[in-house]
Amino acid sequence: MMALLTVTDIVNTACAKIGEEPPQSLTDDLGGGQSASLLYEAVVDFNLGLQPSGFHFAREVRQLSRLTGVTAYTGYDYVFEVPGPHDGPPVFLTDDPSDPGRRYDRYVLTAGRVHASDDPLYAMVKFRPDPHHWTGTFRMATISALAAEMAMAIASDRNTMQIWHQVAYGNASDNFRGGQIRAALTEDGFANPPRRIAVADNPLERSWRS
Task: Please check whether residue 10 is in contact with residue 40, taking contact to mean a CB–CB distance below 8 angstroms.
Answer: yes
CA 61 to chain centre: 13
Residue 16: which residues within 8 A CB-CB, separation 6 or more?
Answer: 22
Q: Dihedral (C-alpha) 12, 88, 60, 190: value to the nearest 10 degrees?
A: -70
Residue 29's pLDDT is what?
A: 66
Distance between first and last Cα of the chain: 50
Q: How far apart are CA 114 and CA 116, in angstroms?
A: 6
What pTM, to 2 d.p., does this model score? 0.85
Summarised one tens digit per residue, pLDDT across range 16-39 is: 999 998 887 887 766 678 889 999
Span 62-96, pLDDT tens digits: 999 999 988 889 999 999 999 989 998 999 999 99
pLDDT greater than 60 at residue 198 = no
Query: Domain residue spans in the chain?
Result: 7-52+135-189, 58-127
Helix (H, G, I), strand (E, B) or coil at 125: strand
